[in-house]
A and B are shown apart, each in its own frame.
Chain A
């Protein structure tokens, strides 16, 4: 199975900060990487698919990019509602696999 190694596992940030979360795939994969946001006690919500395409209604402060086997989620100007856990996921090679998550907490 493809391992998606996500880092950091947690971070503290302030409103207005720029936050970057990275997932490294264990082997070369295409651009079939998605990012999800999950708030406590809630279902995951899809944010980005195909590495960089925003789901409808997702604010433009969220963006995705890649370089080789590294995939990055960036949140520009963090807002209060962005404090949550974020997961990457690859869906290029069966079975689909997720990163272990990054918890974004208030500093």
Chain B
């Protein structure tokens, strides 16, 4: 059974940094692209970033480009999101989501973690 368990969400100050993690199990992690999708309180879903199975290619939404960095450690079956220069608008629950297609990033998310909340406030 696929399991995705996020951690690292916390209260951060504007301008601060956080690092989110997503521990994966139940599938061959390095064969699949992975993504981060966020949801602000009471709002809809918003794709943030994606990474190929090898980690060789990364993709970002314009609103996080230059501030967030996605990475993965395939030896640890773990996905990361380094978030810098945080603003109030980054307040959201962050979900890691497994891409559906083998050896590609196509942005259909067939499995989701339970999410980790990030609050940016002074």
Using a CB–CB cutoff of 8 Å, the interface residues on chain A facing chain B are 32, 34, 36, 42-46, 49, 55, 87, 89, 91, 94-101
User: How many residues of chain B get a CB closer than 8 Å to chain A's CBs?
Assistant: 20
Q: Which of B13-21, B78-86, B102-110 contacts A (4 or more CB under 8 A)?
A: B102-110
A46 to B107, Cβ gap below 8 A?
no
B44 to A99, Cβ gap below 8 A?
yes
A46 to B45, Cβ gap below 8 A?
no
A43 to B108, Cβ gap below 8 A?
no
B108 to A98, Cβ gap below 8 A?
no
The residue in chain B whose Cβ has the minimal distance to the Cβ of A101 is B44
The residue in chain A whose Cβ has the minimal distance to the Cβ of B60 is A95
A43 to B113, Cβ gap below 8 A?
yes
Q: Tell whether B46 is near chain A: CB-to-CB under 8 Å.
A: yes
Interchain nearest-CB distance for B79 vs A (Å)? 15
Which of A46, A87, A100 has most chain B Cβ within 10 Å?
Answer: A46
Interchain nearest-CB distance for B51 vs A (Å)? 14
A98 to B44, Cβ gap below 8 A?
yes
A91 to B107, Cβ gap below 8 A?
yes
B95 to A44, Cβ gap below 8 A?
yes
